[in-house]
A and B are shown apart, each in its own frame.
Chain A
Amino acid sequence: MTRKSKKIGCDSCHWTGYVIDDSSTNARAVLCECIENCEECGGSGNILSENENGYSYLALCQSCGVIRRNVKLYNISGVPAKYAHVLQVDAGLDPKRMNTSLQKALKYAKQEFVKKYPTKNGFLLMGPSGLGKTHLAVGTISELTLKHGVKCMFKDFFYLLSELKQAYSEGSPENDVILPLVETDVLVIDELGKGRSNEWELNILDQLISKRYNASKKTLITTNYVTYDIAKEIGDKHEILEVRIGDRIASRLYEMCEFLYLEGRDFRKEQKKAQKSQ
């Protein structure tokens, strides 16, 4: 497994080999010119190698092959453009300004989940809006795709259900609809429980979660709802997660994810306040 990669990159791409474009709905990584003109492979991304038995085979270019592959993975992950700047778990997060719950979540996401992928459980981030739940989830899959070469997918719960509904109503075979969501190594479901889910929608969600559970795939979830236990402890009258998604799905999630409760002040409100006072 010893690897001798040649350092590639330039100042324009901050030595990453790609730049991020946020001009469309989803963020897109674009290969930097320095990669396009790779001296090792001439920009093809592959080089002809020979194994110990003398057979030739096409191998990934040691200089740019990994970057090319990972950029493709990032581009199909569906990271929303507004999170284009979040390329790693701790991007833009200042430890001195984070409360303990966010630091703990960050520690789990970065030190445990990403660095020790795929040996640790996924995570479920719960708590009020504006605390950085989606930021952490996006940072996690951005780092996993761009640096670890893991296939990930980001889905807003609401849109996920709409897409599934549309596909079913168009008569697409069930497997065509649900399979890509099951097969992806890491799936982010953002804002789980948002909207009034009917029985059919919960049934589809149940199928998806169960299939991912059986396939030992990692699932990351963000939600504004809290579990019974947390609601009891904080004395919150919030709607309960188990009520929104049903005990069966919640029980699966308990096995698949570390449940992390985030608390604190809404950073969007704080930002707005700060802007007003300037």
Chain B
Amino acid sequence: MGNNPDYIREIEKYFLSLAGKGIMLSSMDYALILEWRNKEIPLEVILKGINRAFEKSKLMNGLETTSIRNLKQCVQYINSSIDEFRPIIGKNKGKDDSLDEGYTLDIVVDRLSKYIESAKEEVIRNYYIDMKENILRSANENSPNILSLSAKIEEESLQKFFMKLPKLEREQISLKAKNTLGDRARHMTDQALEESIVSFRNEIISNKYRLKNIFSLTEDNLD
């Protein structure tokens, strides 16, 4: 795809067909297309993003009119299209590993924002808000790899969530977590035992309160 000469032409043609007569792409627009081509973003993903940008614009401006005059105005939608198709794009060979961080931080923040929006209970909304703030703060301070950071912050947030529960409920959850380990606990070192109990406890809390994980490995384990 990276050497496909039609890549630029296809995007140009598609954009102009939606934007209407009297519009030309600027050099900045071509630079954007080249950037996508270099990153080996599939053509279909870009076209989908453009399409969404126009649909949204038409919804806002009335059915047949659009305020989009250049590709840059579609970037937001193209980026979310890229995020959405990232499980597939991510496997392209030769991609720049350094791109991972930016994309993934965006994904994390985007997901958490959606969770915050859809959370009905205040305590759960606060849980996501707290986690989002922590991730943004830590990511800016240290620029670490975002997945490990998210996992760590998610665990801390679950711990805080647990501590805010009533004492009786905390005891019940802890007991359930210990029972999951059963007899195997006898052969575990103290540290491993503690880590496993916390892990099972977090899983119980997540299931009980339907707390969504930032990264669900079974849902998108290959992105």
List chain A positions with a Cβ less than 8 A from chain B: 1, 3, 5, 60, 66-67, 69-70, 95-101, 103-104, 106-108, 111-112, 115-117, 119, 143, 146-150, 230, 233-236, 258-261, 263-265
A107-B217, A149-B187 are contacts. A3–B193 as well, Cβ < 8 Å?
A: yes
Given A70-B187, A119-B180, A230 and B193 contact (CB-CB distance below 8 Å): no
A234–B91 CB distance below 8 A? yes
A-side contacts of B147, CB under 8 Å: 95, 100, 103-104, 107
B175 to chain A, nearest CB (A): 10
How long is the Cα–Cα vector from A1 to B180 in the complex, in angstroms? 12
**Contact of A111 (CB < 8 Å), options: B92, B93, B151, B186:** B151
Report the separation of the CA atoms of residues A101 and B145 in the bound assembly, to the nearest whole angstrom: 12
B residues within 8 A CB of A1? 178, 181, 185-186
Most chain A CB atoms below 10 A, which of B180, B193, B222? B222
Q: Looking at the assembled complex, report how far the CB atom of A103 sits from the nearest CB atom of chain B, in whole angstroms.
A: 4
Give residues in B with beta carbon < 8 Å to A. 88, 90-93, 97, 100, 104, 144-145, 147-149, 151, 178, 180-181, 184-193, 195-196, 199-200, 203, 215, 217-218, 221-223
List 19 A–B pairs whose Cβ atoms lie within 8 Å, in order of A's numbering.
A1-B181, A3-B190, A69-B187, A95-B145, A96-B145, A100-B90, A100-B100, A100-B223, A101-B222, A103-B145, A103-B148, A108-B221, A115-B199, A147-B192, A148-B184, A148-B188, A148-B189, A259-B222, A263-B91
A88 to chain B, nearest CB (A): 10
Chain A: CB-nearest residue to B144: A96
Residues of B within 8 A of A116 (CB): 196, 199-200, 203
Does B145 lie within 8 Å of A98, measured CB to CB?
yes
The A-B contact count (CB < 8 A) is: 109
Residue of A nearest to B89 (CB): A233
Q: Which residue of B lies closest to A115 (CB)?
A: B199
Question: When A108-B221, A148-B192, A260-B222 are in contact, do A234 and B93 touch as well, CB less than 8 Å?
Answer: yes
* CB atoms of A115 and B196 under 8 A apart: yes
| Contact assessment for B196 and A230 in the assembled complex, using a CB-CB cutoff below 8 Å | no
A contact residues around B196 at 8 Å (CB):
115-117, 148
Top 5 A-B pairs, shortest CB-CB distance? A149-B187, A95-B148, A147-B192, A115-B199, A103-B147
